Amino acid sequence: MSHREIVIDPTFEGPPGSAHGGYACGMLAPYLAADAEITLRRPVPLGTVLRIATHDTGVTVYGDGDDPVAEGASTQLADRTPPPPTFAEALAATASFPGLGAHPYPRCVGCGTRRMDASAMRIFPGPLSARALVAAVWYPAPDAIAGECIRPEYAWAALDCPGGWAAMRFGQVDRPAVLGRMAARLSPSITAQTAYIVVGWLDSVSGRKLAAGSALYTRDGDVQGFSRQTWITLAEAGTPG
């Protein structure tokens, strides 16, 4: 077993005081082979040292104590990405993003409406007409690019919120949900472009658990990555992050 340490900068906030789920998962994914699946056992703290223990079956992440913050393992995802909307359709869908009217977590780095800083992704997924999908456009900021490629943790983050908003809308739940588990497959290198299309969909509902998926495309419709997610319906107010 080996140990490494990371710190997630407070700018990558999801729910108040904790890390954005997709970004946190993306920071852990490089420690796993093949498709990575991360289970978030509790809110991931910001600005503190996280200890990553790698072992034969995956990774375990600890914060200040001995209780795991997250666990990760390798998996194998099936490609179930739907035909993408056009760029114009995805752009139009953002006008119906539910968070534009009321967003309980407006500081979420992924979908927060009050974030205008360099790290803010401002992905606003709204429903597509006549399709059980939500869609949005993502314009990567310079912080999301390393060399000529999208940084993987940003791609994971881009895949996060669309799945959550789709799960809540199409699952017809009366309370928000938070990310509990996420697995993703990305292209080996995602060449940086000015804009991408992201979509999310609901797979199933089982009690408080919502199974969802999401996909990332170039503006011309080429798949760059996709995810499988489990969201947990909250007993109190909140939104995906």
State the span(s) of the chain assigned CATH 3.10.129.10.
Answer: 2-75, 87-233
Long-range contacts of 87-90 (CB under 8 A, 24+ apart): 87/137, 87/195, 87/197, 87/219, 87/220, 89/128, 89/129, 89/135, 90/128, 90/135, 90/136, 90/137, 90/197, 90/198, 90/199
Determine the pLDDT at residue 238.
46
The pTM assigned to this predicted structure is 0.95
E strands in 76-208? 126-127, 134-138, 145-146, 149-150, 177-186, 196-206
Beta bridge partners of 119: none
For residue 66, the model assigns a pLDDT of 84
Residue range 188-203, pLDDT digits in tens: 999 999 999 999 999 9
pLDDT of residue 1: 64
Question: What does the pLDDT read at residue 33?
Answer: 87
Q: What pLDDT is recorded for position 239?
A: 46
For 87-233, the fitting CATH number among 3.10.129.10, 3.90.1150.220, 3.40.50.300, 3.40.50.2300 is: 3.10.129.10
Quote the pLDDT of residue 203: 97
pLDDT in tens, the chain (241 residues): 678 999 999 999 999 899 999 999 999 999 998 899 999 999 999 999 999 999 988 999 999 888 999 999 999 999 999 999 999 999 999 999 999 988 878 999 999 999 999 899 999 999 999 899 999 999 999 999 999 999 999 999 999 999 999 998 999 987 878 999 999 999 999 999 999 999 999 999 999 999 999 999 999 999 999 999 999 998 854 444 5
Classify domain 2-75 at the CATH topology level.
Answer: Thiol Ester Dehydrase; Chain A (3.10.129)
